[in-house]
Structure 1
Amino acid sequence: MCTPSPKCSVWNCNNLTCRSRFISRHDRYRTDQLMAITENHDFSVTVERDVPTEMRDGVLLRSDIYRPVGATTCPVLLCRTPYDKAQNTYIQIARALASNGYIAVVQDIRGRGISDGKYFWQFQNNAETFDAQDGYDTVEWAAGIPGSDGQVGTWGHSYPSWCIWRLAGTQPTALKALFASGMSARLLGLNFGIFETGRRLQWTYKMAVNARRRVGDESGPKTEEEADAQWHEVERGKWIWYLPLDDLPDYLFSTLTPLLKTYLREQDKEFWAFQKIHHKVNVPTCQLTGWYDRLVGTMDNFTGMVTEGPESLRNQHRLIIGPWGHNSNNLTRIQGPFDFGPDADTTYPQEVARWYDYSLKGIDNGIASEPPVKLFIMGENRWRFEHEWPLARTEYTEFFLHSGGSANTVRGDGVLSVSEPGNEPPDVFDYDPKDPVMSLMGIDAQAAPRDQSPLNGRQDILVYQTPPLQEDIEVTGPVVLKLWAASNTPDTDFTAKLIDVHPNGLAVNLTYGIMRARYRNGYENPSLIEPGQPYEYAIHLNPTGILFRRGHRIRLDVSSSDFPNFDRNHNTGADFWSDAELRVAHQTVFHNAEYPSRLILPVIPRS
């Protein structure tokens, strides 16, 4: 029997019986976790469904209200979602919160589920949407429903947290605290200005289920579960490779197709920019994310609140970063090939209830005396409290890229070292968008820890790694690669992936970043490159928190594609959505005294 651990990865086990047994056991474990919190409750729960609320323009939005039986008055916790309030996830979380003495409200946002009105999605100009006004109106309504004590808080992961930040900037009088998770402060911090082909097409295909239903279209999958299955079994292999993307058939995404095709043209636009509203948010906040969360930029909402929020509240904000991915149903110890230990286990409703027990009910549960930042350090596999983010004691350390000109593949001669380079030959590779480096990711097209060995033999990946470490090194914080590179094309991409290599050879990704050459001077100033000219590219990888153990290696993979995590650069300089041509790019990576490519790691001194 294979069990997941840093030394044995069930995902790499060839025993299919073992794999299926583990996966089914893990699914039962996650379900049992959620069920346990609803069974070990103080209150039984009643549900009032499809309750209408009139917005200021007369549009009716509908909510399900979960109430604790026997409670007198209690706070209301609101979730506004585009994903159908009747989803099992929302039912379980709402019941768990109600059983802990809260009124939980789940609302279908405008134009989604069974709410009225026209849908405007999160990937367009905020001025065109109604989410801020609808959120304000719903908070004020929720404060006055039967059983409410007048206090309203929020919950909801990912898109629902986008809705939370939109309403928070309107300063509803009844909003007294905020819990948000899995939502970056900046859209460009998520997509790096590049279309997320795999995730965005799959996501839109699922969203189209409700879009079809609303216009009476009987074609296509009838549920999101059916959509997921059909996408993976039938549609994915057709559409992620489709060119040009602007010619995707209208039927594929129903009424969402025009929104998607408009968004294709606006990849370098910052539509979220929550940093612009942090100064308006006048309540305590708690943010939750994970190191493998694609939207780990959630932490920027915390830093924004403690630097730009009202001064009287700056010590009342909290940040939790666990070893998890983007799935709020899977805040568990088992992530990919790793068992992070029992301390990594929690559930979403547990974290929400703990925050509001403190911030709305005034219960002394320890939060008041805790430092504001709670981090899970992978490798060490324990939680640690900190007073700020990023950590003030960080020693940003440069690890220079070296080679004899043959860093291609894991068998190459690429080295990471704190020694500065001298006169070294560059490394070269060809990037063919017809044969991109494939993303190793979750079935939901989300980032996840994965063994990187399937990519070991690719000549278009440059590998730079340290010798086995002589002592532990902690790397916690933002990661940057300063890469000196040239291409023979007018535009291209360069990618970076930070990897932990175990003594037994297991190599697992930690974080990633990508730079489209035209955005090297910022998204506001795109410009093509001069073929053959070296440029310095500052590639910002997502933050991480890892203790590299003695005997492990720190590894950096450099390439030009990470597909379908990100769209392939066609290397032509043309607009990617209308261009069907694919050109091979010849890439050169420099690491010498004149062009010192280096990886800047946030090293934390160990006492």
Structure 2
Amino acid sequence: MKTAALGSALVSLACLFSITAFAAPPTSQDAAKITPDMIQTASDIPAKWKQPQGNFDYVKRDVMIPMRDGVKLHTVIMMPKHAHDLPMLLERTPYNASGMASGNSPHMADAVWSGDKDWADGSTILVWQDIRGKYKSEGKYIMTRPPMGPLNPTRTDDTTDAWDTIDWLVKNIKASNGNVGMIGSSYDGWTVAMALLHPHPALKAAAPESPMIDGWMGDDWYHYGALRQVNLDYFSGQMSKAGEGESIPRENYDDYTNYLDAGSAGAYAEANGFKQLPWWKRFAAHPAYDAFWQLQALDTLLVAHPSSVPTMWLQGLWDQEDIYGAVHAWEALKKAGHGANNHLVMGPWWHSQINRDGWNMGPLKWPGNTTAQFRRNVMIPWFNHYLRGTPLPTPLPEAMIYNPVEQHWDSFSNWKPASEQQLTPLFLQADMGLGFEQPKGGSDSYVSDPAKPVPYLPRPIPQKNERWRTWLVQDQRFVESRPDVLSYSTAVLTTTVKLEGAPIADLFARTTGTDGDFVVKLIDVYPGSDPTDPAMGGYELPVSLDIFRGRYRHSFAEPAPIPANQVQEYKFRLPTVNYAFKPGHRIMVQIQSSLFPLYDRNPQTWVPNILFAKPADYRKATVTIEHGDNGRSAVLLPVAATR
């Protein structure tokens, strides 16, 4: 023990000696070598850093633009150096205006995000603005703030904010020619549509891209009453803080399991703190299409307050988030007699893909970069015509819609709204057949079990999921063999069947439950083998699909229980197409009662608010689809030609 203690003491002494030697003060000889420039007592971070920009080809400004009520909105302005007499392009966003021009490059085209690179060629002043209450803007953030009126008793909304912003820009940006265009996708497309309700005189052209127009009928929040519950992450990310918030934490990698274990969507939301969100309280209290939703429907408002601003309504044919908005806004305006200054464009794209590369849509490959070609050959020349007076190389047609089978753009001088279409029934037939002839009778049944809902993608389905963008073109063979999915198919086609418009699902069905959902998919079944692209052999490509909540079969505003075991008609519109089913292919229609976890589960028993269904409310139901004397179920097709 004494030896050990002695050893320990020697080690301690050695350490002390070492520390003392290290910490010894400098000698007078060392101190003589210290010069004043070596001594720094202030912070090495300057009070204000200024990046030299002598070689930059643009000037960027951050300004706070005052609104009529005194609230100031953060705005980023990027001007080409030596700009003179240039138009301005404005985007209003809840997604961080600074982030849209965050690149630290001396070249304007390299400093902006992908959606603006083609604009950053020195010919346009680019402007991005944080909407009220988001990021660096003052004021209160309200999700898709309703227009002034019954739901908004203040004297400001996103219409007045756009007006005040444009007014400030034309008065204070001396390098501009006084003309402004607006552009933006998704929520940013919604801000463009809001600006059109009472546009500033300087607003000369607008392009809402995949805009949120009606969140209940078919854009982000619901589709015909079925909740798109994966957007609960958007709620927490958007409203838990002024900047970017967090998504809901996940217990499991697979969201199919997460949402199934949670029970109802409302239980899942409130277990994760949503009672703190004022938007959630309003949202959850209005599951039906009542005044809360009706008074915010922008297609109706745009007709009530039509503008003369030339407007290009853009949408993807396979837009997984806002497939409803642009086409319905355009149709409403055309039907009301305002078609002259409104144009419809539908590309072969997913949501907001117009702002990125467009070489393909999932497995579908195009002969070029469709988005870049469209921006450079159509969109920018169209804007330039109205913003700087340059001639249009080709007048923009009433509707310009990509033909994904023949792989080219089709122009239409008279594209008909869905309500004016001539429709041809494609009837469900016996033995899982499908044909244009009248069915001879019969029915088919399946058991829909809420405990085993049909997934919208092959599992696992993680929350951060690259397949989300292209799920609408997912090969449907992964569910075809499920007993709760009915698949009806034509014989192999010998002629081309060309569709132009919106198919209509028209089902006659009975269920043992008192509520239920109906998913209808119109599918192109490829030939069994393809030597040029083997992966596409037998591919079941969804062309158009949607979901309908049965309680709304008579009224979207006043839901009612489904009478058990009684045939009811469920008729609803599917997304618009410009598609050709070719010889050698088959047309398929699939029917099922869930699309999970994208949409919340229907308990299949009547409850006042499905958001808060209890575990005991979820029950199996036998669903029977009629195709005979009790009802001739069909998909009504906008057949333009057969050849």
TM bucket, shorter chain: 0.7 to 0.9
Indicate how the Cα distance of structure 1 residues 212 and 584 shifts in structure 2: closer, same or farther if over 3 A, else same. Answer: same
Tell me how far 1:533 sits from its aligned partner: 0.6
1:103 aligns with 2:121: no
Q: Normalising by structure 1, what TM-score?
A: 0.82
1:186 aligns with 2:214: yes
Q: Percent identity?
A: 27
Q: Give SS of 1:366's match.
A: coil
Name the structure 2 match of 1:206: 237
1:242-282 CA distances to partner (integer Å, 9 max, x unpaired)?
A: 23433346684679733124313324233323232234212
1:4-35 CA distances to partner (integer Å, 9 max, x unpaired)?
A: xxxxxxxxxxxxxxxxxxxxxxxxxxxxxxxx
Name the structure 2 match of 1:54: 66
Tell me how far 1:207 sits from its aligned partner: 2.1
Indicate how the Cα distance of structure 1 residues 272 and 164 shifts in structure 2: closer, same or farther if over 3 A, else same. Answer: same
Indicate how the Cα distance of structure 1 residues 573 and 445 shifts in structure 2: closer, same or farther if over 3 A, else same. Answer: farther
Correspondent of 2:579 among 542, 546, 563:
546
Name the structure 1 match of 2:36: none
1:68-125 CA distances to partner (integer Å, 9 max, x unpaired)?
A: 2233111111100011113358634345424251111100000111111111002867
Name the structure 2 match of 1:440: 457
1:532 aligns with 2:552: no
- The residue type equivalent to 2:62 in the other structure is D
1:358-379 CA distances to partner (integer Å, 9 max, x unpaired)?
A: 22222223242x4221111121
CA distance in 2, matches of 1:468, 1:345: 33
Name the structure 1 match of 2:613: 579
CA distance in 2, matches of 1:592, 1:66: 64
- Taking the TM superposition and a 5 Å limit, the aligned residue runs for 1:408-419 are 413-419=431-437
Q: Normalising by structure 2, what TM-score?
A: 0.78
Tell me how far 1:580 sits from its aligned partner: 2.1
Q: Give SS of 1:154's match.
A: strand
Indicate how the Cα distance of structure 1 residues 141 and 50 shifts in structure 2: closer, same or farther if over 3 A, else same. Answer: same
Do 1:93 and 1:348's aligned partners in 2 also have CA atoms closer than 8 Å? no
Tell me how far 1:539 sits from its aligned partner: 2.4
Name the structure 1 match of 2:333: 305
Do 2:59 and 2:81's aligned partners in 1 also have CA atoms closer than 8 Å? no
Indicate how the Cα distance of structure 1 residues 564 and 238 shifts in structure 2: closer, same or farther if over 3 A, else same. Answer: closer
Indicate how the Cα distance of structure 1 residues 450 and 234 shifts in structure 2: closer, same or farther if over 3 A, else same. Answer: closer
CA distance in 1, matches of 2:337, 2:602: 39
Do 1:123 and 1:263's aligned partners in 2 also have CA atoms closer than 8 Å? no
1:431 aligns with 2:448: yes
CA distance in 2, matches of 1:258, 1:234: 29
1:295-316 CA distances to partner (integer Å, 9 max, x unpaired)?
A: 2331222233334365xxx433
Correspondent of 1:556 among 589, 598, 602:
589
CA distance in 2, matches of 1:564, 1:552: 30
- The residue type equivalent to 1:325 in the other structure is W
Name the structure 2 match of 1:461: 485
1:422 aligns with 2:440: yes
1:20-70 CA distances to partner (integer Å, 9 max, x unpaired)?
A: xxxxxxxxxxxxxxxxxxxxxxx9752434310111111111011111223
Name the structure 1 match of 2:3: none
Q: Which moved more, 1:128-137 or 1:556-565?
A: 128-137
Q: Give SS of 1:280's match.
A: coil
Name the structure 2 match of 1:67: 79
CA distance in 2, matches of 1:141, 1:97: 22
Name the structure 2 match of 1:398: 425
Correspondent of 2:309 among 271, 283, 294:
283
Do 1:155 and 1:352's aligned partners in 2 also have CA atoms closer than 8 Å? no
Indicate how the Cα distance of structure 1 residues 347 and 247 shifts in structure 2: closer, same or farther if over 3 A, else same. Answer: farther
Indicate how the Cα distance of structure 1 residues 236 and 556 shifts in structure 2: closer, same or farther if over 3 A, else same. Answer: closer
CA distance in 2, matches of 1:520, 1:346: 42
Tell me how far 1:135 sits from its aligned partner: 1.7
Name which one, 1 or 2, has greater alpha-carbon Rg: 2
Q: Give SS of 1:144's match.
A: helix
Name the structure 2 match of 1:382: 408
1:517 aligns with 2:534: no
CA distance in 2, matches of 1:57, 1:253: 32
CA distance in 1, matches of 2:130, 2:504: 39
Q: Which moved more, 1:348-357 or 1:525-534?
A: 348-357
Name the structure 2 match of 1:27: none
CA distance in 2, matches of 1:281, 1:385: 24
Do 2:147 and 2:157's aligned partners in 1 also have CA atoms closer than 8 Å? no
- Taking the TM superposition and a 5 Å limit, the aligned residue runs for 1:181-330 are 181-187=209-215, 188-190=217-219, 191-208=222-239, 211-212=240-241, 233=253, 237-239=257-259, 241-248=261-268, 252=272, 257-267=277-287, 268=289, 269-270=293-294, 271-278=296-303, 279-293=305-319, 294-297=321-324, 298-308=326-336, 314-328=339-353, 329-330=355-356
- The residue type equivalent to 1:586 in the other structure is T
- The residue type equivalent to 1:605 in the other structure is A
Tell me how far 1:151 sits from its aligned partner: 1.2
Name the structure 1 match of 2:639: 603
Tell me how far 1:158 sits from its aligned partner: 0.7
1:112 aligns with 2:134: yes
The count of corresponding residues between Structure 1 and Structure 2 is 540
CA distance in 2, matches of 1:140, 1:111: 21
CA distance in 2, matches of 1:154, 1:114: 21
Do 2:298 and 2:329's aligned partners in 1 also have CA atoms closer than 8 Å? no
Tell me how far 1:184 sits from its aligned partner: 5.0
1:136 aligns with 2:178: no
- For structure 2, the 5+ residue unaligned runs are 1-54, 102-111, 459-464, 529-537
Name the structure 2 match of 1:30: none
CA distance in 2, matches of 1:438, 1:235: 10
Indicate how the Cα distance of structure 1 residues 366 and 440 shifts in structure 2: closer, same or farther if over 3 A, else same. Answer: farther
CA distance in 1, matches of 2:480, 2:374: 36
Do 2:335 and 2:417's aligned partners in 1 also have CA atoms closer than 8 Å? no
Tell me how far 1:394 sits from its aligned partner: 6.0
Name the structure 2 match of 1:360: 387
CA distance in 1, matches of 2:481, 2:437: 27
Indicate how the Cα distance of structure 1 residues 95 and 552 shifts in structure 2: closer, same or farther if over 3 A, else same. Answer: closer
1:339-375 CA distances to partner (integer Å, 9 max, x unpaired)?
A: 122263426854542321122222223242x422111
